[in-house]
Structure 1
Amino acid sequence: MHIEIDKNVCIGAGQCALTAPGVFTQDDDGFSMLIPGREDGGGDPNVREAARACPVGAITVTDSAAAEAQVE
């Protein structure tokens, strides 16, 4: 799994951190960020729901295979 947060879109609503607190947190300015070491979602079943909960769609979750294919 690959997770991206568009920092230019994020408004700091915190819904991701509430939905999947083991993966998402907020920085000192209140904007969403991934917890270090959890960039792949850490197997948390709530990651996709956290992305859907974002009111501005700042979070993108893709399968690892799809993310690797985009790089190539």
Structure 2
Amino acid sequence: MPSDPLPDWVLTRRRAIGDRVRAARTAKKLSQEKLGELTGLDRKTINRIEQGHGTLIDHLLLVADALDVPLSDLVR
């Protein structure tokens, strides 16, 4: 993590990504536990992603912004 606090827009986008992960998971009728099994992650990690807690996504958002490219271009 950068030593300075993250810009508000990063926190907002991180939460939005978590919301989309949760929506996609529930649309597939998967529990956090089952998604964890499918990904090799534990339920707590899935929960942290959905709750918008700090992850690698923060760094990717900052890099995409600095390069002036959509995040989706970096993670296809």
Which structure has greater strand proportion?
1
Asked if TM exceeds 0.5, the reply is no
Who wins on radius of gyration, i.e. which is larger? 2
Does 1 or 2 have the higher relative contact order (CA < 8 Å, sep 6+)?
1
* TM-score when normalising by structure 2: 0.29
* TM-score when normalising by structure 1: 0.30
Which structure has greater helix proportion?
2
